[in-house]
């Protein structure tokens, strides 16, 4: 995910703002950072959403996920 698009992301449960901690990035052709791994944390309800292989996993807690990656 592009770092600039975090401003239009929010917590799917409470619509709170998210903070990002990054573990892995690459740089896109236009020079912007692409977050490959990390965690998005809701500042309101404190739920963590992982970013894995560049994909933010924003399924609300408690909802079943497709499979364990």
Binding site for other proteins (CB under 8 A): 1-2, 5, 7-13, 15, 28-30, 32, 34, 49, 53-60, 63-67, 69
CB 34, min distance to other proteins, A = 8
CB 43, min distance to other proteins, A = 13
Residue 25 or 58 having the CB closest to other proteins: 58
Phi, psi of 33 (to 5 degrees): -75, 140
Burial of 61 (0-12, 13-18, 19+ CB in 10 A): exposed
What order of strands is seen across the sheet that includes strand 33-42?
A: 18-27, 33-42, 48-52
CB 30, min distance to other proteins, A = 6
């Amino acid at each position: 995910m592009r770092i600039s698009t975090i401003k239009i992301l929010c917590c799917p449960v409470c619509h709170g703002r998210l903070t990002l901690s990054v573990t892995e990035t690459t740089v896109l052709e236009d020079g912007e950072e692409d977050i490959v791994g990390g965690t998005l944390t809701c500042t309101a309800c404190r739920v963590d959403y992982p970013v894995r292989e560049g994909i933010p996993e924003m399924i609300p807690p408690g909802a079943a996920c497709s499979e364990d990656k």
